[in-house]
Amino acid sequence: MSIRYKSDPEIAEYESTKCCTSFLHYSWKTVTCLFSHVTLVSMVVSYCVLGAFTFEALEVANEKKVKSGIYKIRENVTWHLWNYTQGIKAFDEENYTRGALLYLKHFENSLLDKMNKDGWDGEEDPDKVQWTRTGSLFYSIIVITTIGYGHIAPKTSWGKVVTIFYAILGIPLMLLCLSNIGDVMATSFRFLYWKVCCYTCQKKPKKRRTRGSIRSDKLSRSRQGSFRRYTRTPRLPELGPMSHSDTELRYLDDPFPSRRRSERFRKSDDPSRKISRTSTVSSPPVQQNHLEPPLRGYSLDRKRRAEEAPDLDPSLIDRTPILFNKYIVGTDGGFERMIPGKGITPRQTEFQKRSASVPRTRRFLEPPRYPSPDGSTDVEEDVDSLKDARRPRGRSPRPSPSPRMMTPIGYGLPGRYYDDDSDAYDAYEAGKARIRPVPIWLCVFLVVGYILAGAYLFMTWEGWEYLDAAYFCFITLTTIGFGDLVPAKEVSRDNSRATISIALCSLYLLFGISLLAMSFNLVQEEVIGKVKRIAKSLGIIKSTSDDEDDDDDD
């Protein structure tokens, strides 16, 4: 109720006042800019630098004190040994050795104590501290990525308290940043993948081909749109009995029959059409399906979609009124035709931009996951359908002008940007199965390759064995972080080299974790689908399979 209500005033708002919408638009722009990739990354970097300064200031004094303590331990042992030597009356090697062993053992233990409890690193030189600027920076990164090697750890109580609060703030920030980067990488990777396996191999896009075709940016963008449409398919009721290979479907078919039809209705002006539209609105969607000619195939899991269809039907009925309202205002293509006497003004493009800004903001405002009684998904579908309408498509029911002419210049880019973000939001939806076109094996191969390459890098740089280096990479990227192998620990404590080594490791792990996030992003839907199918075939109840989805989400 609330959402539906909210969407309508927006239109009114748009039509009557532009200042409010523009204000909202700009405020949202600032917010999104704040959380945009560049800002996030710079925020994380500055946060790390801040942490570096703080921890250095807090811990350096303590570490120097510990180092000076070592000398005292040795002195103590020497004194004991001197006394022992003096105290012995008869010189017998056997006896003496037995006593000396005890002292040595004692010495050993105190050293171990220093290392384990006070975090002594085994160096005595007070100038060679662990908590240098770079060391503290590395520590900050290690904390907020939750790797936690533990090779340096705060020993003062202030250091501990600050670490706790630093982590509370930093971990979510880092997660946000990483997921953002991972998202961008996923989008670009998908884009790259589809560019590489070109239009000519539409029939079997799973196979990688050499980059044979040169596509303009614009075209690939429109491709993205079609991909989006394709990904939406699982939500729609199953329509056609025929099934083709999914690859054919991906580009050729429009998976939104109802939407297309509604658009078709909208495209015509005459009032009779309007009436007929409303009549279809009130009719149940099952009937709509009958009206529709059987579509060419879906390779998707039939059962799954059949299962989701009933969920959708009430929402279809619910949303239709807004949908049309939305379309009247929002569509670029249908704008002039729809509202005679309203749309065609010299400022039309500006108008369109504004109108587009409304749903965009709305999309941000409403994360789709929250289970409102009306189902927020319908709103989302609205926006999506809006996007679809905005997007040119190959087999539009009416003869449409060329896609590029339809889209206002400078419009595609923000649209695409928001597409990325919508992807991020969609990722939140656990239960909805969608299929990503990038195959699992490629992602797995990418991650394994990254680990192996990193192992080679660390092998040459740190002088570890290959297995050790690979183990280190794995332990780091999974954020387990034992800390048995840490860069710049074994190498000579040459300052510049240690700095480079730490920088290398930080870059490696930041990039690697976002790579992992990316491959999760790419793979998760496919994995979810597969796991679901397996679960279903095993006869495991549905709730369990949902949980498994959650698992993969994580």
Residue 294 C-beta: closest distance to other proteins, Å: 29
Minimum Å gap between C-beta 537 and other proteins is 9
Give the 3-state secondary structure of 182-249.
HHHHHHHHHHHHHHHCCHHHCCCCCCCCCCCCCCCHHHHHHHHHHHHHHHHHHHCCCCCCCCCCHHHH
CA distance 317 to 314: 5
Distance, in Å, from the CA atom of 40 to the CA atom of 43, rounded to the nearest integer, reads 5
In whole angstroms, give the CA distance from residue 503 to residue 181. Answer: 19
Angle at 166 between CA 160 and CA 169, to 5 degrees: 145
Shortest approach of other proteins to residue 146 CB, angstroms?
5
Helix 495-538 to helix 440-462 angle, to the nearest 10 degrees? Answer: 160
Q: Which is nearer to other proteins, 282 or 345 (CB)?
A: 282
Task: Report the C-alpha dihedral over residues 180, 182, 188, 194, rounded to 10 degrees.
Answer: -130
Question: Minimum distance between the CB of residue 469 and other proteins, rounded to whole angstroms?
Answer: 11
Q: Which two tokens stand for residue 249?
A: 């479907």
State which residue, 249 or 443, has the beta carbon closest to other proteins: 443
Minimum CB distance to other proteins smaller for 61 or for 169 = 169
| Residues in Cβ contact with 408 at an 8 Å cutoff, skipping those fewer than 6 apart | 332, 349, 352, 353
Is the Cβ of residue 233 or residue 545 nearer to other proteins in the bound state? 545
- We find the least distance from the C-beta atom of residue 300 to other proteins, in angstroms, to be 24
Identity of the residue, 84 or 199, whose beta carbon is nearer to other proteins in the bound complex: 84
Token reading at 319: 């949303």
Closer Cβ to other proteins, 102 or 242, answer by number: 102
Q: Quote the least distance from Cβ 551 to other proteins, whole Å.
A: 4
Residue 102: CB atoms within 10 A of its CB come to 12
d(CA 528, CA 299): 16
Q: Which is nearer to other proteins, 75 or 217 (CB)?
A: 75
Q: Smallest distance from the beta carbon of 228 to other proteins, in angstroms?
A: 23
Name the residue nearer to other proteins (CB basis): 465 or 494: 465
Minimum distance, C-beta of residue 241 to other proteins, in the bound complex (Å):
30
